[in-house]
């Protein structure tokens, strides 16, 4: 039987997680790189730079839920992001709003032409904002003005403090060179491959060398270390971020994730980190999900309920929330159809969500639907071929349908996982499976 690599969740009142009127008014947003075909090759990064600045700013406001930019990879147009390709992505990803545009140059200035398209409450026709002309040497200052221009056009009420916070987030460094390296590092990380993460680590480290106070780069380097399996380096970067700017919530949430996944069951530390992230950003849905997972792991049912309800209010499009519900439906309530539905909802929102594929596979396997389980585990391996849990589960289910193939899969798992200290106990179990199968086939 496949192992469950997620935390056991306490039983909760599922009816209380149905959502609320507040959740219904949330609008989902796509931030799309600006088209730069008119720029020289060495300047093309600026289109992604605009998108990064807007992404950093929009998370500061509760009006919109941003769709993960990594999901745009399936829609990239080699001719640049035209209005048609933007609409295609918006409809496919079920976004309510997309912001996009293009960047041009004249002799002494950048000309940024922002646009947006709104499907909910709008006609679906692209709308152009006034051009933003930015003198050479003032690009970062120009980008800092864009978020407020967009939100006002989208009829979001902004206070003076809101405008200042948006501008500060969109201008995370005063060094254009450091910002260029940061944007290039983020692009490399979005590839999701070992090579991409290693390249990203180098670029982000260079950005930090130029500007050691570049908090977002420090945090992003921690994310890269975490993706590469370097937990200690990741934790060091996250802590460095919190020391540089104690008001920045992302590294606290990331520390919570590290504590939650630690072999030593550091649930109290995880709860403290998630609570700090929420204190700094009260509408931080992912932090509420993490808080719910940590409280549930400790058996605090009421606390888990409250956290999950908050997550749904602040982001009904959160795939991790729906995956958590899938675990609860199946592991705690024995509700097969509801569990499948919840996992599928998570995958509708994010088809690359490895843990949702694993969870759905475990439900199928438990019900004897081995073909379907194999399909989900294989998708997880395709998305992350170094994910030990995916390879373990795939080998385990193949024992039931093809022992010869299971031998090969156990060998691959052991080769991968024997290098990971956290997998030691699971590797021992895998070797027992392998020994048994070889004896049977002989």
Residue 17: band (very low, low, confident or very high) from pLDDT cuts 50, 70, 90? very low
Does residue 415 share a domain with residue 382? yes
Q: What is the 3-state secondary structure (H, E, C) of the chain?
A: CCCCCCCCCCCCCHHHHCCCHHHHCCEEEEECCCECCCCCHHHCHHHHHHHHHHHHHHCCCCCEEECCHHHHHHHCCCCCCCHHHHHHHHHHCCCCEEEEEEEEECCCEEEEEEEEEECCCCCCCCEECCCEEEECCCHHHHHHHHHHHHHHHCCCCCCHHHHHHHHHHHCCCCCHHHHHHHHHHHHHHCCCCHHHHHHHHHHHHHHHHHCCCCHHHHHHHHHHHHHCCCHHHHHHHHHHHHHHCCCCCHHHHHHHHHHHHCCCCCHHHHHHHHHHHHHHCCCCHHHHHHHHHHHHHCCCHHHHHHHHHHHHHHCCCCHHHHHHHHHHHHHHCCCHHHHHHHHHHHHHHCCCCHHHHHHHHHHHHHCCCHHHHHHHHHHHHHHCCCCHHHHHHHHHHHCCCCHHHHHHHHHHHHHHHCCCHHHHHHHHHHHHHHHHHHHHHC
Task: Look over the chain and give the mean of its residue pLDDT values, rounded to a whole number.
Answer: 88
Does residue 360 share a domain with residue 334? yes
| 104 in any annotated domain | yes
Per-residue model confidence (pLDDT) at position 123: 60
Q: How many structural domains is the chain composed of?
A: 2
For residues 288 and 310, the answer to whether their CB atoms sit within 8 Å is yes
Q: Which has more pLDDT, 262 or 328?
A: 262
Per-residue model confidence (pLDDT) at position 11: 35
Inform me whether the pLDDT recorded for 52 exceeds 80. yes
Inform me whether the pLDDT recorded for 72 exceeds 90. no
- Inter-CA distances, 221 with 232, 254, 290, 383, Å: 12, 12, 21, 22
b or e along 20-46 (b: 16 or more beta carbons within 10 Å of the residue's beta carbon)? Answer: eeebeebbbbbbbbbbbeebeeeebbb
Which of 171, 189, 208 is at the close of a domain? Answer: 171
Summarised one tens digit per residue, pLDDT across range 131-188 is 999 998 899 999 999 999 999 999 999 999 999 999 999 999 999 999 999 999 999 9
Residue 315: band (very low, low, confident or very high) from pLDDT cuts 50, 70, 90? confident
**CA 128 – CA 153 distance, rounded (Å):** 10
**Token code pair at residue 365:** 């396997």
Average pLDDT for 101-107: 91
Task: Read off the CATH number of the domain in which 83 is found.
Answer: 3.40.50.10070
Does residue 391 share a domain with residue 354? yes
Does residue 39 share a domain with residue 140? yes
Residue 78: band (very low, low, confident or very high) from pLDDT cuts 50, 70, 90? low
Does residue 410 share a domain with residue 392? yes
| 212 in any annotated domain | no
Does residue 104 share a domain with residue 8? no
Which of 119, 139, 171 is at the close of a domain? Answer: 171
For residues 373 and 353, the answer to whether their CB atoms sit within 8 Å is no
Average pLDDT for 380-399: 92
| 85 in any annotated domain | yes
Does residue 161 share a domain with residue 96? yes
| 24 in any annotated domain | yes
Inform me whether the pLDDT recorded for 264 exceeds 90. no
Per-residue model confidence (pLDDT) at position 375: 96
Summarised one tens digit per residue, pLDDT across range 202-243 is 999 999 999 999 999 999 999 999 999 899 999 999 999 999
Which residues have C-beta within 8 Å of that of residue 12, sequence separation ≥ 6?
Answer: 296, 301, 304, 305, 308, 328, 332
| 216 in any annotated domain | no
Which of 148, 171, 194 is at the close of a domain? Answer: 171
Does residue 324 share a domain with residue 394? yes
Does residue 122 share a domain with residue 2? no
Task: Read off the CATH number of the domain in which 384 is found.
Answer: 1.25.40.10
Per-residue model confidence (pLDDT) at position 394: 95
Residue 23: band (very low, low, confident or very high) from pLDDT cuts 50, 70, 90? very low
| 417 in any annotated domain | yes
Per-residue model confidence (pLDDT) at position 19: 40
Does residue 337 share a domain with residue 412? yes
Does residue 131 share a domain with residue 43? yes
| 293 in any annotated domain | no
| 72 in any annotated domain | yes
Q: Which domain holds residue 44?
A: 20-171
Does residue 166 share a domain with residue 33? yes
**CA 288 – CA 290 distance, rounded (Å):** 5
């Amino acid at each position: 039987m496949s192992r469950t690599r997620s935390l056991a969740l306490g039983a909760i009142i599922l009816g209380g997680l149905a959502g609320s009127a507040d959740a219904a008014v949330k609008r989902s947003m796509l931030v799309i790189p600006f088209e730069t075909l008119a720029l020289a090759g060495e300047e093309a990064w600026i289109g992604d730079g605009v998108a990064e600045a807007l992404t950093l700013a929009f998370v500061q406001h509760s009006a919109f839920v941003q769709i993960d930019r990594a999901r745009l990879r399936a829609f990239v147009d080699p001719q640049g992001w035209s209005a048609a390709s933007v609409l295609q992505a918006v409809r496919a990803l079920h976004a309510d709003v997309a912001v996009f545009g293009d960047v041009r140059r004249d002799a002494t200035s950048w000309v940024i032409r922002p646009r947006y398209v709104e499907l909910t409450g709008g006609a679906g026709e692209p709308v152009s904002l006034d051009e933003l002309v930015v003198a050479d040497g003032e690009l970062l200052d120009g980008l800092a003005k864009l978020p407020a221009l967009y939100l006002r056009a989208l009829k979001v009420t902004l206070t003076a403090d809101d405008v200042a916070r948006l501008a500060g987030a969109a201008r995370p460094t005063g060094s254009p060179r450091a910002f260029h390296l940061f944007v290039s590092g983020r692009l490399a990380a979005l590839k999701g491959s070992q090579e991409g993460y290693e390249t990203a680590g180098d670029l982000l480290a260079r950005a930090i060398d130029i500007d050691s106070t570049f908090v977002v780069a420090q945090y992003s380097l921690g994310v890269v270390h975490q993706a590469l399996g370097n937990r200690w380096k990741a934790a060091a970067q996250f802590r460095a971020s919190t020391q540089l700017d104690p008001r920045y919530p992302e590294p606290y949430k990331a520390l919570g994730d590290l504590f939650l996944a630690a072999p030593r069951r550091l649930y109290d530390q995880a709860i403290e980190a998630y609570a700090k992230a929420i204190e700094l950003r009260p509408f931080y849905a992912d932090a509420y999900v993490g808080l719910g997972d940590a409280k549930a792991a400790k058996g605090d049912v009421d606390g888990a309920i409250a956290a999950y309800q908050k997550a749904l209010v602040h982001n009904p499009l959160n795939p991790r929330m729906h995956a958590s519900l899938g675990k609860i439906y199946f592991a705690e309530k024995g509700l097969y159809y509801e569990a499948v539905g919840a996992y599928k909802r998570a995958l509708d929102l994010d088809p690359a969500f490895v843990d949702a594929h694993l969870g759905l596979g475990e439900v199928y396997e438990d019900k004897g639907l081995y073909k379907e389980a194999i399909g989900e585990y294989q998708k997880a391996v395709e998305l992350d071929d170094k994910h030990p849990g995916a390879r373990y589960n795939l080998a385990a289910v193949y024992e039931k349908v093809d022992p010869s193939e299971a031998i090969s899969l156990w060998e691959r798992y052991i080769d991968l996982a024997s290098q990971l200290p956290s997998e030691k106990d699971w590797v021992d179990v895998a070797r027992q499976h392998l020994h048994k199968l070889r004896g049977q086939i002989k």
